[in-house]
Amino acid sequence: MIVICAACLLALTAALVSLHGRQAAAQNPVLYWGSSGDDVFRVQQRLSQWGYYKGSMDGFYGDDTFQAVSYFQRSNGLVADGVVGQATWDALGLSVPRETPAVSRGVATDRGDVTLLARVIEGEAANESLLGKVAVGAVILNRTKSASFPRTISGVIFQQDAFESIANGQAYRPLSQESLQAAQMAMGGYDPTGGALFFWNPAKPVNPWVWSRNIVTQIGNHVFAR
Amino acid sequence: MRKWILAVIVGLLALAAVASWGYSQQTANRRLEIYLTNKYQRAFYDLASQTQNLEVLLSKSMVTSDPRLDSALLMDIRQQAAFAQSNLCQLPLNDALAGRTAKFLSQVGDYADSLARQVNQGETIDAKQWDTLNSLYQQAAVLNGELQGMQAAVAQNSFYFGEMVRQVKSKLQKPPDDLARTDFQSVDKQMQSYPALVYDGPFSEHLERAEPRELSGLGDIDAPEAERRALAFIDKQSGADYQARVTGTTNGRIPAHRVEVTRTGGPGGAATVLDVSRQGGKVIWMMNSRPAGDQTVSIEEARRKALQFLSDRGFGEMRSTYFQRQGNSVTFNFAALQNGVTLYPDLVKVTVALDNGEVVGAETSGYLMSHRQRDLPKAAISRERALAVVNPRLEVSGGDLVLIPVGVSDEKLAYEFHGKLGEDSYLIYVNAVNGREENVLKLIETPGGTLTM
């Protein structure tokens, strides 16, 4: 009788919790043989992730779960009574925080990367159309996705001899609005180069090695290659 | 007579000033050169020791039996590979010299990462994966051996990297030769012999050759047809005539005809450039370079225009998932829907100018690469069950079914929850089949739109 009541109560609590969001759950319920519901499911899931539980995740506290909880308690220096009380909840890392601590707002933005990308675009393609500028930005972003290059925008841009405008300081000119827009569009996924990793101006002297790459297209004064 | 002496004194003073200026310049120059040399030396020695760690860790990972230890080792491998690659990239070497070594380091890291995830999910490393670990281990040992050999040369010549920089500068136009360049080039050549990896990590080689699914089975189109398709695609303004011209072909991930559309009559504007895929004749991207004037159209109106633009061009049901403003234009992301499930891999981006609401840009490569009628699995757990997995500290809302990309080639059906902790917002994805938390994204508000990280 008590077991059934507890189960009903649990189901009711679970329903209330899911109706009112999460703040309502002030503390963890005690779970034992015969319990059921989402809390049992969470315990089963955690025990299964940690390799203590092999049964099905049915949200019902049966023999399998009892054995798994006892095994977990034994292995972690808890009283192996097969009942999930507060100590076991804590050990499982599932205890409900007593109160949510004040969390201040983060300060992460993408401003640094956009500006840096815009700088190189300004340095390398100031006289190109928006399309030509976006294409240069896209090459830098394609490099961050390629295994042969560093993974971050700054890593790619400051790689030795990667961009002439960085080496000779051309990139530190004032930024134009168009370069900023091109940087944002490239970050937004526009890639007119079809995945190119290299670009160069054929009118200027370049390492002959680059001509051996698979040329994709030409946009404005730049040749793009993969 | 006195004037003559004065002139000599002034001359001598000037000479002394120039000499001391030159001397201070020279010492400053030298100090900077030493500083730079130290920087390169540090990067090189770090690279050597991290490669050594990689070799040792890889060999250990082949003999452990406890999955927890294996997972820790694999995470270490990933970290050491990332550090080693970052140090390699700081050396004065270009892509022709060190590209393959860098690629090897990336792939070792990614492979370890994907194995670590697998081990964490309770699966063991199978025989084939063990063989791959073994071949990576052999390759890491070769790289380690080569770097150890170079250490001797670097130790003997303290200006090894300084000389390398001078050569790189003076011989930019010539193929690389002598000293360090050849040392690194031979290392890089060694790296050529390592076998191509087959796994589903982010930089897997076979993924780079993936076929666009939306185009599979379609026939090739010729240039006049590409011009017709381009004309049909652009956002035509009333009172203007348009003329399309194929200006070339492109050989990117999706081979295409490049089409330029110019307008005659009506208000002038820059040409619109489009890539129309050779196979199937679909527009891969479109871009008009005209600058947008002052805003007269609201973001909401622009969104409606963009959605109308897509439905007029035969894209099925799409959901707006994100937008970002750039000056006076705004780019919207739309994801395809299938039976109410948002398909995040099938993205289309549409840029609208806020001065007259004209669609000035579109990008569909994500959609072309992955869109198809999917065989979606049934959600095996309920939304409430999935909610129970989410960290109880979060204030949660939402819970729509979505399809998210996992890695590059895999897709998972998941519940998408919006979570709030204090003032920070998150998106939490819980796998709808097995109830595992697949991913957590942090939402970052910027003046241009909301970013996810």
Q: Does B117 touch chain A (CB under 8 A)?
A: no
How many angstroms away from the CA of B374 is the closest CA of chain A? 24
Q: Give the one of B89, B175, B291 whose C-beta lies nearest to A209's C-beta.
A: B175
What span, in angstroms and rounded, lies between the C-alpha atoms of B361 and A134? 12
Q: Does A134 touch chain B (CB under 8 A)?
A: yes
How many angstroms away from the CA of B287 is the closest CA of chain A? 7
Instruction: Using alpha carbons, select from B186, B99, B192, B97 the residue that is nearest to residue B150.
Output: B186
What span, in angstroms and rounded, lies between the C-alpha atoms of A109 and B130? 41
Q: Phi-psi category of B353—alpha, beta or left, where left has phi over 0 and alpha has psi -120 to 50?
A: beta
Q: Which of residues 234-293 of B touch A (CB under 8 A)?
A: 248, 250-254, 256, 258, 270, 273, 275, 284-285, 287, 289, 291
How many angstroms away from the CA of A144 is the closest CA of chain B? 11
B153 phi and psi angles, rounded to 5 deg:
-65, -40
Contacts of A41 in chain B (CB under 8 A): 385, 388, 435
Mutate: best of B250, B262, B272, partner A, most A CBs <10 A: B250
pLDDT value at position A17? 40
pLDDT digits (tens, 9 = 90+) for A81-95: 888 888 888 888 777
Instruction: Using alpha carbons, select from B335, B327, B336, B317 the residue that is nearest to residue B360.
Output: B327
pLDDT above 50 for A1: no
- Average pLDDT estimate for B72-83: 91
pLDDT digits (tens, 9 = 90+) for B46-68: 888 899 889 888 888 888 777 77
- E-strand stretches of chain A: 198-200, 215-219, 222-225
On whether the CB atoms of residues B452 and B429 are closer than 8 A, the answer is no
Confidence of residue A101 (pLDDT cuts 50, 70, 90): low
Please, which residues have CB within 8 angstroms of residue A32's CB and are 6 or more apart in sequence? Answer: A61, A82, A83, A84
pLDDT value at position B101? 84
How many angstroms away from the CA of A81 is the closest CA of chain B? 25
Q: Which of residues 123-162 of B touch A (CB under 8 A)?
A: none
How many angstroms away from the CA of A166 is the closest CA of chain B? 14
Q: What angle do CA B324, B289, A149 make, to 5 degrees?
A: 65
Contacts of A146 in chain B (CB under 8 A): 203
Q: Which of A53-62, B96-105, B378-387, B409-418 has the lowest mean pLDDT?
A: B96-105
Query: Number of A:B CB contacts under 8 A?
Result: 188
Mutate: best of A27, A57, A166, A185, partner B, most B CBs <10 A: A185
At A13 the three-state DSSP class reads helix
The hierarchical CATH code for the domain A2-92 is 1.10.101.10
**DSSP assignment, residue A84?**
B
Tell me the CATH class for A111-225. mainly alpha
**DSSP assignment, residue B92?**
S
Please, which residues have CB within 8 angstroms of residue A188's CB and are 6 or more apart in sequence? Answer: B324, B326, B331, B333, B349
- Distance between first and last Cα of chain A: 72
- The verdict on a CB contact (< 8 Å) between B100 and A148 is yes
- The verdict on a CB contact (< 8 Å) between B252 and A216 is yes
Q: Does B231 touch chain A (CB under 8 A)?
A: no
How many angstroms away from the CA of B16 is the closest CA of chain A? 32
pLDDT value at position B6? 92
Query: C-alpha distances in angstroms, B240 versus B244, B262, B265, B361, B427?
Result: 13, 10, 5, 18, 45
pLDDT digits (tens, 9 = 90+) for B16-32: 999 999 999 998 988 88
Bigger pLDDT: B234 vs B132 = B234
What span, in angstroms and rounded, lies between the C-alpha atoms of B210 and B133? 25
- Average pLDDT estimate for B298-324: 91
Mutate: best of A217, A222, A223, partner B, most B CBs <10 A: A217
The tokens for B21 are 């200026």
Mean pLDDT of all residues belonging to chain B: 83
Domain with CATH 1.10.10.2520 in chain A: 111-225
pLDDT digits (tens, 9 = 90+) for B153-188: 777 776 677 777 666 555 444 444 455 556 666 666
**DSSP assignment, residue B290?**
P
Mean pLDDT of all residues belonging to chain A: 80
Q: Which of B194-198, B202-206, B218-222 has the lowest mean pLDDT?
A: B202-206
What span, in angstroms and rounded, lies between the C-alpha atoms of B126 and B132? 10
Residue of B nearest to A93 (CA): B391
Contacts of A155 in chain B (CB under 8 A): 86, 89
Please, which residues have CB within 8 angstroms of residue B363's CB and are 6 or more apart in sequence? Answer: A189, A190, A191, B284, B285, B286, B348, B349
pLDDT above 80 for A160: no
Contacts of A190 in chain B (CB under 8 A): 285, 287, 349, 361, 363
Find where tokens 């909610």 sit.
Answer: B387
pLDDT value at position A104? 60
Domain boundaries, chain B: 11-207, 215-370, 383-452
Give the containing element (helix H, strand E) for B431: strand B424-431
Confidence of residue B7 (pLDDT cuts 50, 70, 90): very high
How many angstroms away from the CA of A212 is the closest CA of chain B? 11
pLDDT digits (tens, 9 = 90+) for B356-368: 999 999 999 888 9
pLDDT above 60 for A23: no
How many angstroms away from the CA of B398 is the closest CA of chain A? 10
What span, in angstroms and rounded, lies between the C-alpha atoms of A132 and A222? 8
Q: Which of residues 136-195 of A touch B (CB under 8 A)?
A: 145-151, 155, 159-162, 177-178, 180-181, 184-185, 188-195
ipTM of the predicted structure?
0.72
Q: Break chain B down into helix, strand, coil percent, rounded to 5.
A: 45, 25, 30
Confidence of residue B96 (pLDDT cuts 50, 70, 90): low
- Average pLDDT estimate for A207-217: 82
Confidence of residue A8 (pLDDT cuts 50, 70, 90): very low
